[in-house]
Every structure is written in structure tokens, then in C-alpha cells.
Chains A and B, each alone.
Chain A
């Protein structure tokens, strides 16, 4: 059977390894194998100490994002035959601290995600007996594409601004904030705007657009950020021209 070499970044600080090193592993090149299948082959057959995250292997859970030949990719959706003859370089997601091998530290992203309150906010909850909050197909279409985000963080690995300035709230968090701002059932846009309109919010973005290119789910975070910028700029103009208006 054909083989392909996976050049995998290994980093084991517990073993007093101070620098990541690339280690070559030869795995079978099968037409139905994704990069993740190759990594699982290494783990099962060649070196059980390799550490990486994965779960659903079908592009839903967002766990298996890594740098494949320098590009942020879901390894379950990137096929080895498309990368032949190799070698294929596999590294942890760029712009994040590495814990071990291909596992990055999610703490910063999780903090940012919750800071933009990506959930439905209501001033007054209507009682259960009043039924569901109804929504028209047009109202659903307003935000649907932004709701496809699986928090895989490929957009953070692709974003040069986040790479330079870790305080930037970042593409996925802003896209998700925007998703709830656009939801007809939500009333929390003021609360979110307070966070997004900060210098570390939307204003850090210089509209490079790599986030939207990297997104494996067809979300357009760059577009969301531009729309959020416009909303924040309109609010700022209103505050300037109508300073007596209560926020």
C-alpha cells in the first residue's frame, strides 16, 4: 500500500523538552483517510504518546483544528490524498500557547467567547404558557450563517491581528456576538456593543479577511466584524450628537 509521511510537531515539556520538534511518521495513504485518520494510525500503531484533540470526525465538534502544511484546517475534513506526495507538516493551531504536542490552550478563547455573551438576552422572559418566540424564515436567515460556527478557532489561527495582539476579542467571538445581535428574539445588543465597541473589540480588526477564508463552516466573521463596526460607529455618532440620550 502507498505511504505518506506525516511530519508532526511534538512538544513534551514534562520530559524537559524546551523546544517543539518535528517527527516523521509513515502512515498508509488511503483514499478515504483524512489527516485525522493518519494521526489516529500513529497513536494506535506507531507512537501512543502523541497527544491531540478530536471527537466527532465529521466537522461538527470543532476539536481537531490544526495547522496542516501551514494552513489552519479541520484535520477530519482534510484528506491525505489531496496532500500527496507529502510530507505533510502537522502543527498545533498558530497564535495559541501549546500545552503538549498538538494541543493548544483554550483558556483565552473561552474567556473571550463568554465575554461577548453569546446567548439570548431578554429584558422580560415571556411565560412558558405564551408559547415559543416565533420567528419568520426571513428573520432566521438574518443570522443563520453566523450560527454555523463550531468554535474550532481556525479563524484565530488565521488572524494576523490576533497573532500580533492577543488582547483582540477575535473573529469567532465577534461573529457569535453578531449572530445574537441579529436574532429577532434577542434584546442584548446594547450589552454586547459595550464590549465590542472597546478598542480591543471590533476596532482592532483591519479587515484582512483570512478568518472568513479559513472558516470550514462557511461563516463570514470578517463581514460580521464590519457590520459590528458600523453599528458601533453609529452608536458613537449618536452619543456625540445626542449626548443627553440615555444609553
Chain B
């Protein structure tokens, strides 16, 4: 603690983790219930296909969906990093574990970006 101030990425990771927590708790469940349960079961009227496609093709929709996916993945990676380190007492391997967990989140985010850019034409 008496060592000079070190620059650490933790604040930025934590901010994304916090944002990811909000996304995973508030936005993902709404999307899942709406498109995974309510619309298939006919609880709410299904939107017109052309209209939904037009919404999905809008850059802002793509950006928002990318944000939801990427932040939720960072949230999961952050939790997994500390769960693994504390449960199995692997804190000394933090650089490697952090690289793997955040790396996986980055790969997932890249895959989401690729899908969002290519899947809807």
C-alpha cells in the first residue's frame, strides 16, 4: 500500500461489469420473454416481419443490441474471473485467468458484432 500509484484497468472493467449487470438484469430478460415466450405463444401480437427487419437494420438498433451482448459478456467474464480465482484459490494466476475470461468475452462480442452486421442484410 505504500508503493507508488499504479495504473490499473480495474475501474474500466468494473464500470463495464456494472453496466453489464444492469443490462443482464433489466434488458436481456425483457428481450428473452418478449421474443422467446410472449410472441411465440401469441400473448402479444407478433410484429410485422418487414417492420421488425427494418428496425433491426437500423444502425442504432444494431449498436444497442451490440451493447447488450458485449456488456453482458463482460459482466459474465468478470464474475467468472473472481469465482474461479476465489473458489479454487488461483489468485496468483490472475493475469492468465483475466486474459482468458475477458478474451472470451471479447471474442463473443466480436461474434455478436459480426452477426449484427451480416445477418439482416
Contacts and interface: CB of A to CB of B under 8 A. Distances in A.
Given A160-B86, A161-B86, A164-B89, A169 B1 contact: yes
A172 to B, nearest CB: 15
Of B3, B5, B11, B12, chain A has the most CB atoms within 10 Å of the CB of B11
Contact of B10 (A195, A203, A237): A203
Given A115-B2, A161-B86, A206-B82, A198 B8 contact: yes
Interface residues of A, number: 25
A236 B12 contact: yes
Per DSSP, chain A at the interface is helix
Contacts of A195: 1
B15 interface: yes
B89 A199 contact: no
Given A164-B91, A165-B91, A233-B15, A199 B10 contact: yes
B91 A232 contact: no
Contacts of B10: 199, 203
B14 interface: yes
A237 B15 contact: yes
B51 interface: no
A235 B2 CA distance: 20
Nearest to A173: B1
B22 to A, nearest CB: 13
A231 to B, nearest CB: 10
A218 B2 CA distance: 30
Nearest to A115: B1
A232 B11 contact: yes
Contacts of A12: none
Interface string A211-247: 0000000000000000001001101110010000000
Interface of B: 1-3, 5-6, 8, 10-12, 14-15, 82, 86, 89, 91
25 contacts: A111-B1, A112-B1, A115-B1, A164-B89, A169-B1, A194-B5, A197-B5, A197-B11, A198-B1, A198-B3, A198-B6, A199-B6, A199-B8, A201-B1, A203-B8, A203-B11, A203-B14, A206-B82, A206-B86, A229-B14, A233-B11, A233-B12, A235-B11, A236-B12, A237-B12
Interface of A: 111-112, 115, 160-161, 164-165, 167, 169, 194-195, 197-201, 203, 206, 229, 232-233, 235-237, 240
